Structure 1
Amino acid sequence: MLTLSQISRFYGDTVALDGVDFVVPEDTYMSLLGASGSGKTTLLRLIAGFEEPNHGEISINSKRIDGQAPHLRDIGFVFQNFALFPHLSVAENVAFGLRYRAENPLSNNSEILDRTQEALKLVGLDGFGHRGVGAISGGQRQRVALARTLVCEPRIVLLDEPLGALDANLRARMCDELRAIRERLGVSFLHVTGSETEALTMGDEVAVLANGRITQSDAPDTLFSQPRTAEAARHMNAWNTFDGGLCGDALSNQEIAVRFDQMEVCAPGTAPQDHLSLKAQYLTGEFNGPTALSFFRASDGSLLQIIDHLSQPRLPDLIEGQDYDLHFSSNALRQFHGAA
């Protein structure tokens, strides 16, 4: 089990991480979701030992690893750009760590060959060892980078936005493959991403990093349907978050959240009496195949979105520039005390 306790990292006056408490359980695929600049990569670099925290402790199975050199931590790192050696073959890239690692390097060529072939087979590249890394696809290079990490049998694998360089179809396939590989190995993966879809798809558990802290860590369905903070709700890209005062004095000084698919639209003054409502101006719509998004601007400038599933349309015909009442049941409401 990987445990981070009160981890902080500063760069001059800039606070990248601020007292982070975070646990990656054994035999788990953990997703870490955060916006660009949230400190995701910094967190990985601290765990791997490429940087050290200003404060706090990092441990694996209750043994501290902060302060240790990276090669002593028994942690694998798959970089976003894969960081393969272009002059080496696929097999030579995978075998590199076995031959040249600082601790217990292997010199038996037969053992190195066997372990390299086993790692390539694990990631679906059996028979690709002789090829140059410039002669294979982006998805195959990603697998080579993963095989190079896995061949050294690390206790935990860190993946820094590993699917970011792949096209959409390949990302979907690699999601399935990464989960299957992790399950076969029985080690923990910590997968960092800025995509909420990727995080929810991949993770047995998903943690949200915002403002230098872990704002929530939960099972994917719980995080999506029951965000405990406004920051967690915003990271799901499925919730409108806004000042509750827009709906009346009873919700003033609270930030509230309502899911895109749980808001309705009607003419001003016609919202059901048992619903909460606010006035907003219709801006424009966006067609996305089976769904459509409608965008509204509230009186305080907040941008609100409503999703309509075209197989069961529920929104009226909307006119750009016209005001409407957006309304919703109180059961659809998430409340966060103290507006952000």
Structure 2
Amino acid sequence: MIKQGIDVLTLTRVGRRYGDTVALDGVDFTVPENTYMSLLGASGSGKTTLLRLIAGFEEPDEGEIAIHGERIDGKPSHLRDIGFVFQNFALFPHLSVSENVAFGLRHRAHAPLTNETEIRDRTEAALKLVGLDGFGHRGVSAISGGQRQRVALARTLVCEPRIVLLDEPLGALDANLRARMCDELKAIRERLGVSFLHVTGSETEALTMGDEVAVLAQGRIMQADAPDTLFGAPRNAESARHLNAWNIFDAALCGNAFGHGQIAVRFDQMDVTAIGNAPDARPALTATYLTGEFNGPTALSFFRAEDGTLLQIVDHLSQPRLPDLVEGTRYDLHFASDAVRQFHGAA
């Protein structure tokens, strides 16, 4: 895991249950100082519960949460010095941009500000930081979705939190705006020097945004690594599955080449040939071609293995490598031995 000095946030054996349902199961997790951390998880993985525990909206059933070594579980949320940016922005529609940003300074529980000059200066500085200098007089209903996102961020940053939590912060934006906000969020975080914990269900967003990416599944952290390490070398099947780039299947489909357990091969590292024509030196399995999907610069082909497993192969159209495929026809899918990740036991 990447370490940049001390850890700003530490979770130790944190658990949370709702009746018989285990949402978090002894989570150990750290966010280093001055880091953009992405937390990747599918719906139901426990990622929203994890954020709520850190923020103080709920309390863990077991374990400890600390910021800079100081235990914060059990403290009220407004005394944790944590910023929280919601997916729906949670702005006050009847207040102007400046009034929304200044709200936390005026009404925070600890040492609220009363000096109007200081409030104005800090509000203007926060708006300038997020690229909204001169927008303070506008109503929040009169600005774009991306601008509202930045108002929500400015409202959080103006109170100088020790860490900022972002709950699916780009989910309410269209695709073009999401891409632009990715760059802007990273630039703002770097200028501020505060750690961000960005929760998302999008593997592309997580890998693009994070200095480090943690995968949360089944209530546990499956892996936390630099994006290129996670993408290229997932340590277990759950990590690979969340990246939406790896075929995961039973090793027995390839005969005796890999023994027992599961293996994974990336979509772009599998090739296709007629039955019986796979190169001798390459492991292979037989699968039936189902259909294809055109995605602009790439094409995705879908196959069904003999045990029912769905497999995908991506072909880059600038350098196509797949033959013409006929639906319902069986083919050999082959790959280099060093392209394989092998997993034994449970994820």
Deviations 1:26-66 (A, max 9, x none): 00000000001111111000000000000100001111000
Q: Is the 8 A contact 1:24 1:188 kept in 2?
A: yes
Give matches, 1:120-269, under 5 Å: 120-269=127-276
- 1:18 corresponds to which of 25, 37, 50: 25
**Separation of aligned partners in 2, 1:298 and 1:251:** 17
Match in the other structure for 2:101: 94
Amino acid at match of 2:264: A
Identity of counterpart residues, as a percentage?
81
Match in the other structure for 1:305: 312
Deviations 1:281-308 (A, max 9, x none): 0000000111100000001110000010
2:93 is aligned with 1:47: no
Deviations 1:66-121 (A, max 9, x none): 00000110000000110001111110000000000000000001100000000000
Specify whether residues 278 and 339 from structure 1 end up closer, same or farther in structure 2 by C-alpha distance, changes over 3 A only.
farther
**Separation of aligned partners in 2, 1:295 and 1:250:** 23
Match in the other structure for 1:3: 10
What's the CA shift for 1:339?
A: 6.6
What are the ranges of 5 or more consecutive residues in structure 1 without an aligned counterpart?
A: none
Amino acid at match of 1:335: Q
**Separation of aligned partners in 2, 1:75 and 1:127:** 27
What's the CA shift for 1:252?
A: 4.2
Deviations 1:205-246 (A, max 9, x none): 000000100000000000000000111111111100011111
Amino acid at match of 1:153: E
Specify whether residues 338 and 252 from structure 1 end up closer, same or farther in structure 2 by C-alpha distance, changes over 3 A only.
farther
Classify the secondary structure of the residue corresponding to 1:124: coil
**Separation of aligned partners in 2, 1:179 and 1:197:** 15
Match in the other structure for 1:290: 297
Amino acid at match of 2:71: R
Q: Is the 8 A contact 2:11 2:28 kept in 1?
A: yes
**Separation of aligned partners in 2, 1:112 and 1:321:** 68
Q: Is the 8 A contact 2:101 2:152 kept in 1?
A: yes
Q: Is the 8 A contact 1:243 1:252 kept in 2?
A: no
Q: Is the 8 A contact 2:146 2:173 kept in 1?
A: yes
What are the ranges of 5 or more consecutive residues in structure 2 without an aligned counterpart?
A: 1-7
143-152 or 240-249: which moved more? Answer: 240-249
Amino acid at match of 2:297: P
Aligned Cα root-mean-square deviation (Å): 0.8
Amino acid at match of 1:79: F
Classify the secondary structure of the residue corresponding to 2:150: helix
**Separation of aligned partners in 1, 2:175 and 2:290:** 29
TM-score by length of 2: 0.97
Classify the secondary structure of the residue corresponding to 2:230: helix
**Separation of aligned partners in 1, 2:306 and 2:287:** 6
Match in the other structure for 2:4: none
Q: Is the 8 A contact 1:253 1:338 kept in 2?
A: no
**Separation of aligned partners in 1, 2:345 and 2:22:** 23
Match in the other structure for 2:5: none
244-253 or 183-192: which moved more? Answer: 244-253
2:298 is aligned with 1:273: no
Amino acid at match of 2:224: S
Q: Is the 8 A contact 1:59 1:65 kept in 2?
A: yes
Q: Is the 8 A contact 2:257 2:283 kept in 1?
A: no
- 2:74 corresponds to which of 49, 67, 72: 67
What's the CA shift for 1:315?
A: 0.4
**Separation of aligned partners in 1, 2:229 and 2:290:** 32
Amino acid at match of 1:334: R
**Separation of aligned partners in 2, 1:338 and 1:46:** 30
**Separation of aligned partners in 1, 2:319 and 2:33:** 43
Match in the other structure for 2:3: none
2:117 is aligned with 1:117: no
Q: Is the 8 A contact 1:255 1:339 kept in 2?
A: no
What's the CA shift for 1:253?
A: 2.9
What's the CA shift for 1:250?
A: 4.3
Classify the secondary structure of the residue corresponding to 1:251: coil
